[in-house]
A and B are shown apart, each in its own frame.
Chain A
Amino acid sequence: MSRMAWPKSDKSRTSAAGEFDGLMREHVPALYRSAFRWTGAVDRAEDLVQDLLVRLYPMHDELQRLDKVRPWAMRVMYRIFVDQLRRERSSPLQFGIDPADADAAGEEDHGFADPAAGPPELAEQQITRQRIAAAWTLLAEEHRVVLSMHDIEGYSLVELAAIMEIPLGTLKSRLHRARAKLRELLATERFE
């Protein structure tokens, strides 16, 4: 029987940690932005990215062999996110079934800009941005994910289908429903 040596110092771990840091550091801000758009909260986004990095570190050898780290990291983060949603909801996640709408009529004003504060065009842009941001918080997480990754971050449908591990047709339907839902939320707010 061979007796294996136990490392007396953490130098080997430090070099692995350094390699992982060099590999992932540039991607963390983008991963965080995606995580924020999915979760809608800074602390939840930070937790999601933290969970992702803890999960990826043991696999840093495999990460170094990848051509593109970020799409792979996004896929893992998406899986973590879905698992978290399932646990939080304590029921199987039913993608494709739109959750009940929030009661838009009962919402507080989401801080419409004072048009007198600046040029009319700039104020209109701020209003639109704020309205979209407000409507975004009312979207289901499933819709936020597809809108964020396709319409904002620019992943193609093929790339996104691979990340989310769903058929292309299903993804297209989900994207269509997400946009329709967002428009519906914006239209409801406009007529208050």
Chain B
Amino acid sequence: MYRNENGQSLPSVNNDSDALIRGLRAMDAPEPRPGFVDRALANATGVAAGRRTLDRAPATGRGWRHVAMCWETWLGAVMGGAVAAAVTVVLMSPARPHQGEQAIALALNEARSIDVLIESDRDLQDATIRIAVTGGVALDGFANDHIADWRANLGRGPNLLSLPVIARKAGDGQLVAVVEHDGKTRTVMINLTVSDSSARS
């Protein structure tokens, strides 16, 4: 029997017509760069001395848009899938009639609470709230991390979540709020623009 790199036993191949498979099985894969496993997990969870690490530019040149693109891809898949019938999530400030196209302007170094209304038609125990920010915006209390998640109980009716956001760097960013319960999710995405201006209203 042949035991592959994952420890599984596979039938051996002994005749010439299967020499190709023998050759493939003997082919090595080079090791990843040192520390790759630790780094990859830390980057995914945002737990690496409080910051994400990239030791080189990604091969495809995605740079810091990496988080935003992955969130967009995931959210695209989620929103196309099962939808929580009981929960709606809307942006309250500023008031906008449509979800998914919210835009908020912040001044550099401004701290602001962004209100998200989570409307539920029944009590939901142990829902998961996930917040991700990209671009020049950070979440208060989470240093340089870009994702926060925690469990919460939602009451029937409106539940107001105020997200403390700090504008750290000029440019565009995004805030994504996801509510997940019993395998279903609801999402709101908010575009943020940080202007490097000393004039504040």
By a beta-carbon cutoff of 8 Å, the part of chain A in contact with chain B is 1-10, 12-14, 16-18, 20-21, 24-25, 28-30, 32-33, 36-37, 41-47, 49-51, 53-58, 61-62, 80, 83-84, 88, 125, 128-129, 132-133, 136, 147, 151-154, 179, 182-183, 186
Contacts and interface: CB of A to CB of B under 8 A. Distances in A.
A55 B74 contact: yes
Q: What does DSSP make chain A's interface, helix, strand, loop or mixed? A: helix
Nearest to B185: A58
A49 B56 CA distance: 15
A4 B148 contact: no
Interface stretch (B24-32, B101-109, B188-196): B24-32
Interface of B: 4-6, 8, 10, 20-21, 23-30, 32-33, 36-37, 40-41, 43-47, 56, 58-60, 66-67, 70, 73-74, 118, 128-130, 140-142, 145, 147-152, 154-155, 157-164, 178, 180, 183
A4 B154 CA distance: 8
Nearest to A22: B41
A14 B47 contact: yes
A152 B4 contact: yes
Q: What does DSSP make chain B's interface, helix, strand, loop or mixed? A: mixed
Contacts of B58: 43, 47, 50
B159 A1 contact: yes
Given A44-B60, A50-B66, A53-B44, 12 more contacts: A2-B157, A9-B141, A10-B148, A13-B149, A20-B45, A25-B41, A28-B37, A33-B5, A33-B29, A51-B70, A55-B70, A57-B147
Nearest to B164: A6
